[in-house]
Amino acid sequence: MTQACHRKCVPPHYKDTELSKGESVCLDRCVAKYLEVHERMGKKLTELSLQDEELLKRMQQGTGTA
C-alpha cells in the first residue's frame, strides 16, 4: 500500500519537504480505498471459509450415515 500510493500520488522527483495539498488528498483517498478493499476481501474470504466448513460438515455427515 505504501509503495503503491506513493508511486501514484507523489512525483518521483520532488524538492519540497512537505506534501502539497493535492498529494495529501491523493494519499488519503488511496489509503482509504486500499483499506476498504482489504476489509471487503477479508469479509468475503471469511464467508467463503464458512461455506467451505459447512460443505465439509455436510459431506462428512453424508458419508457417516451411508
Cα distance between residue 53 and residue 57, in whole Å? 6
Higher pLDDT, 13 or 63: 13
Count of CA atoms in the C-beta half-sphere (13 A) of 63: 5
User: Is the pLDDT reported for residue 31 higher than 80?
Assistant: yes
Predicted local confidence at residue 32, as pLDDT: 98
Angle between helices 2-9 and 21-65 (to 10 degrees): 140
In angstroms, the Cα distances linking 16 to 2, 29, 38, 53 are 19, 21, 32, 53
Q: Tell me the per-residue pLDDT of 47-61, one tens digit each, with 9 for 90 and over.
A: 999 999 999 998 898
Predicted local confidence at residue 66, as pLDDT: 47
Predicted local confidence at residue 42, as pLDDT: 97
End-to-end CA distance of the chain: 51
